[in-house]
Chains A and B, each alone.
Chain A
Amino acid sequence: MSTPTTAHEILIVSIARLLRGTRHVAVGAASPIPAAGAMLARALAETQDEPKLRLSILGSVAHNFFTNGSAELFDCAAQGRIDAFFLGGGQIDGSGNVNLVGVGDYPEGTVRWPGSFGSAFLYFQIPRVILFREEHTPRVMVEKVDFISAPGVSSEGIWRKGGPHALLTGKGLFGFDATRPGFHLQTLHPGHTLEDVTAATGFRFSHAHATPETPPPDAATLALIRGRIRDELHESYPDFAATLRTAPLPSPLKEPSS
């Protein structure tokens, strides 16, 4: 491959790896990178002859199974039919708590974000919730969130079948241990160091003596991202799709148009 892997492509392939083995993945609105990662996971499952992966991408017509209005996503999750989902967060803390509401004293505060959306429900329901936030800074990765939209863990006796599975940021990939509770740094994206991540993280996390680098996509996977995934993404995220490089043509000659 002549052109090097981009930071976005590292995130997309990381998401696809986290989704391996799932059967139905839902992606919320305004989530181009999770949507791309989920589409890649679907494409890889096909090429590797694994069980079919279904996607429900909110805001898409072509990649969406719902016909019962906006309540169906939540009903579907409650029925145990969604294996993985993505949550972001204006703040994410070391216990996996997510804040989508704002900074400072509620309700006025100093910063107001849109609101909790479905997080206060879906975090309890979906087994593999991937926390995804590209910005990895001390203002996002905080010791304790100012407002709990959705808690990372629940007290004993609280009904819960879902929760955080991983935290993926622009700097690295963390796993989540609900028993501590806390995050464990698994891999560092190319160009990042443990020192750099520690300085950017407001909460304590565990890590190995030497943390491996996030593996880049192989040539075939990269070609999928720059070809099929780019095309599939165009319907819902035309601007983002345009930023993914076009797959190199198989030969210097263009295919004749039919």
Chain B
Amino acid sequence: MQDPLGRLAAQIGSGMKLAVPVDYGGVPMALTRAIIAAGIDDLHLVCVPTGGMQVDMMIGAGLVKTIETSAVSLGEAGGAPQFNAAVRAGRVAMMDATCPAIHAGLLAAQKGVPFVPIRGLIETDVLANRLDWCVINNPMADDTGDDPIVLIPAIHPDAAIFHAPMADRFGNVWIGRRRELAAMAYSTKTTLVTVERMFDGDLMADEMTAAGTLPALYVTDVAVAARGAWPLGLWGEYDGDVAEQHRYAQAARTPEGFAAYMASDVRAGAA
């Protein structure tokens, strides 16, 4: 019988548009190792709104064709070496964004509308390089003057993945105040979640937990992965493993170092 992480990973296929969370939001690192082990490719990653070690690993392992993000870095551990190398070599197609534009794209998907307007961006090279964004004149401007405003099209990922503290047996997932995880789930038909543990009861039955719960309506599948965000941290649960993040940052500077790290790390994740 397939292990639970493998069951979730098997639902991510080559060529899919995949939404992934910010480093401090609950990154499913254990699931990411399983996805890498599955050997898929041509993914289009949407970072909500930035990426870190997870994204760097997926790029280094050759899974990523396109990346839509406001930034990728390893935070205190420095720049993202595999991401940086892949961009410079033109191995990934880059869709540079800005954080609120990614949120706007997800909001449009959540509302079921084709776009959401946002301020800023005019006369930036971010906008100049995003041919999928467009500028219109605000049709509701008070006076006759021009008021250009940017439209961000809805982002419709094929799947979203994240890690959270707990879920119940009905498929409800507790996300606390990390509301962007809900925004990710609203934007797609396939939301795959790993959790630290199962909650013995119904998260929707108590107002205190229900307020921070993503209902099962939006959740496709859940698997338990204890310390599933390691070596990143999980809010309210555990801090990131800074020494391990630095170990990765150091190793990933060269293709050989990256390969050696992943060979040992994927085995550790699969054990």
Contact = CB atoms under 8 A, between A and B. Distances in A.
Do A and B actually bind?
Answer: yes
Interface of A: 29-30, 59, 61, 66-74, 78, 100-102, 106-125, 147-151, 154-155, 157-159
B129 A148 contact: no
A88 B122 CA distance: 20
Interface residues of B, number: 54
Contacts of B146: 157
Contacts of A119: 98
B99 A124 contact: no
A210 to B, nearest CB: 37
B179 A69 contact: yes
Contacts of A72: 179
A135 B58 CA distance: 32
Given A71-B103, A110-B88, A120 B79 contact: no
B195 interface: no
Contact of A117 (B70, B80, B107, B183): B70
11 contacts: A67-B177, A70-B103, A71-B107, A71-B180, A106-B129, A109-B87, A111-B88, A112-B84, A113-B79, A117-B98, A121-B118
B75 to A, nearest CB: 6
Given A112-B88, A115-B70, A120 B180 contact: no
A130 to B, nearest CB: 18
Given A115-B69, A115-B72, A116-B96, A122 B177 contact: no
B71 A117 contact: yes
Contacts, number: 149
Q: Is the interface of A mostly helix, strand, loop or mixed?
A: loop
B145 interface: yes
A177 B103 CA distance: 32
Given A71-B103, A114-B73, 16 more contacts: A29-B24, A68-B179, A69-B181, A71-B179, A74-B99, A101-B96, A101-B125, A108-B88, A108-B90, A114-B72, A116-B124, A121-B100, A121-B120, A123-B120, A149-B98, A158-B123
The 6 closest A-B pairs by CB, nearest first: A115-B71, A69-B179, A114-B73, A74-B100, A121-B120, A69-B180
A124 B145 CA distance: 19
A183 B222 CA distance: 54
A109 B85 CA distance: 11
Interface centre among B50, B73, B89, B125 (most CB of A within 10 A): B125
